[in-house]
Amino acid sequence: MISTAHTRKLLRRQKLGDGLFQVVAVVGVVIALATLGALIADALVDGVPRIDWKFLTSFPSRKPAEAGIFSALVGSVYLITLTAVVAVPIGIAAAVYLEEYTNQSSRLSRIIEVNVANLAGVPSIIYGLLGLELFVRAMRLERSLLAGALTLALLVLPIVIIASREAIRAVPSTIREAAYALGATQWQTTKDHVLPLAFPGILTGIILAVSRAIGETAPLITIGALTYVAFVPDGVLSPFTALPIQIFNWVSRPQHGFHINAAAGIVVLLLVTLLLNALAIFLRNRYQKQYQ
C-alpha cells in the first residue's frame, strides 16, 4: 500500500513539475513574441522618423536623404492589381470545379488536390525560375509588369484555391438542393447561391493571397525586376520595381542612410501586409462563428 505521506510527496512533486513547465513554456512563448516585437520595434524606431510625404512621392536617388519609394509603391500597386486580376477568377473557378463539378473521389480531382497542396509548398524562388523561362524568355514579355504579375499569380493560386474550396464546402448542401428543386441549373445554383454564401471565406483567401504577393521578393528578382527604377510604369509591358525589391536594394548597400530608408520602406510594407492579414483573420473568425 502507498502511504498518505508518500502520495502527498508525489502530488507535490507533480505540482512542482507542472509549475516549472508552465514557467518554461511561458518563457518560450514570450521569447518568440518578444523577438517578433523587437523586429517590429526595430523597424519602427529606425524607419518612422524617415517617413514623410516626400519619401512617399520621390524617386530613388543616389543620395539616401533624397531617395523615396514612389516608383516602388506605384509598381507594387500595379503588380498586385494585375496579379489579383489573373489569380482570383482562375482560383475561384478551379475551386468551383473541384467542389461542385467533379465527384470528390474521382481520380482527376484527387490528382488536382494533391497537386495544389504540393504547389503550395514549392519555394517561391522556383516560381521565379518558371517565370523567367516561360514568361520572360519563351513568351518574350521581358522584365515587364505582366511577366511579374503572371509569375506571382501562379505563386498565389494555391492559396486562393485552397481557401475558396473550404469556403464553398462550408455552404450547406440544403442550399443547393433547394435551388435544384426550383429548377435552377448547376451554374445558376453555383453563381446565384453557393458563391454569394461562400464569399466571406473566399475573400479571406484573396486577402491572404494579396498580402503574400505584396511581400514576395525572390521570384521578382529571379525574373529580373529592376532594382533602380526612376520612372512610373506606363503599361503592362513596362519594366518595373516593387516595394520589397527597393527595400532589398537599400538593405544591400553599405551606407547607413540607405538602411534607414530600408527601415522606412519596411514600415510601409509591414503596415500594409499586417493590416491585410489581420483583416483576413478577423473576417474568417467572424464567418466561422456565423456557421456554428
Gap between the Cα atoms of 108 and 26, Å rounded: 46
Q: From 262, 100, 225, select the one nearest 168 (Cα to Cα).
A: 100
Site residues for other proteins, 8-67, by CB under 8 A, read 14-15, 17-18, 21-22, 24-26, 28-29, 31-33, 35-36, 38-39, 42-43
Write down the least CB distance from residue 187 to other proteins, Å.
5
Smaller CB distance to other proteins: residue 48 or 281? Answer: 281
Q: What is the DSSP letter of 192?
A: I
Among 59, 273, 283, 287, binds other proteins (CB under 8 A): 273
Smaller CB distance to other proteins: residue 83 or 211? Answer: 211
Q: Which stretch binds other proteins (CB under 8 A): 55-63, 71-79, 167-175, 256-264?
A: 256-264
- Show the cell assigned to 66: 533624397
Q: Which stretch binds other proteins (CB under 8 A): 60-68, 71-79, 88-96, 193-201?
A: 88-96
Residue 185 as a binder of other proteins (CB under 8 A): the answer is yes
Q: Is 278 helix (H, G, I), strand (E, B) or coil?
A: helix
Q: Is 144 helix (H, G, I), strand (E, B) or coil?
A: strand
Write down the least CB distance from residue 75 to other proteins, Å.
15
Q: From 180, 194, 185, 174, select the one nearest 92 (Cα to Cα).
A: 194
Residue 228 as a binder of other proteins (CB under 8 A): the answer is no
Say how many residues touch other proteins, by CB under 8 A: 89
Q: Which stretch binds other proteins (CB under 8 A): 50-58, 69-77, 195-203, 278-286?
A: 278-286
258-263 contacts: CB < 8 A, separation 24 or more?
258/64, 258/67, 259/46, 260/46, 260/47, 260/50, 260/64, 261/50, 261/55, 261/64, 261/67, 262/47, 263/42, 263/43, 263/46, 263/47, 263/50
Q: Cell 517617413: give the residue.
A: 51
Q: Which stretch binds other proteins (CB under 8 A): 70-78, 197-205, 232-240, 258-266?
A: 258-266
Gap between the Cα atoms of 98 and 166, Å rounded: 11
Among 70, 78, 127, 240, binds other proteins (CB under 8 A): 127
Smaller CB distance to other proteins: residue 130 or 236? Answer: 130
Residue 85 as a binder of other proteins (CB under 8 A): the answer is no
Q: Residue type for 167, please?
A: A
Gap between the Cα atoms of 181 and 186, Å rounded: 11
Site residues for other proteins, 135-174, by CB under 8 A, read 137, 154, 157-158, 161
Smaller CB distance to other proteins: residue 119 or 170? Answer: 119
Write down the least CB distance from residue 290 to other proteins, Å.
17
Q: Cell 493571397: give the residue.
A: 209
Q: Which stretch binds other proteins (CB under 8 A): 48-56, 59-67, 73-81, 247-255?
A: 247-255
| Residue 119 and residue 153 in contact, taking contact as beta carbons nearer than 8 Å | no
- Residue 153 buriedness (CB in 10 A; 0-12 / 13-18 / 19+): buried
Among 195, 221, 264, 268, binds other proteins (CB under 8 A): 221
Q: Which stretch binds other proteins (CB under 8 A): 50-58, 115-123, 172-180, 228-236?
A: 115-123
Q: Residue type for 136, please?
A: V
Among 76, 204, 211, 261, binds other proteins (CB under 8 A): 211
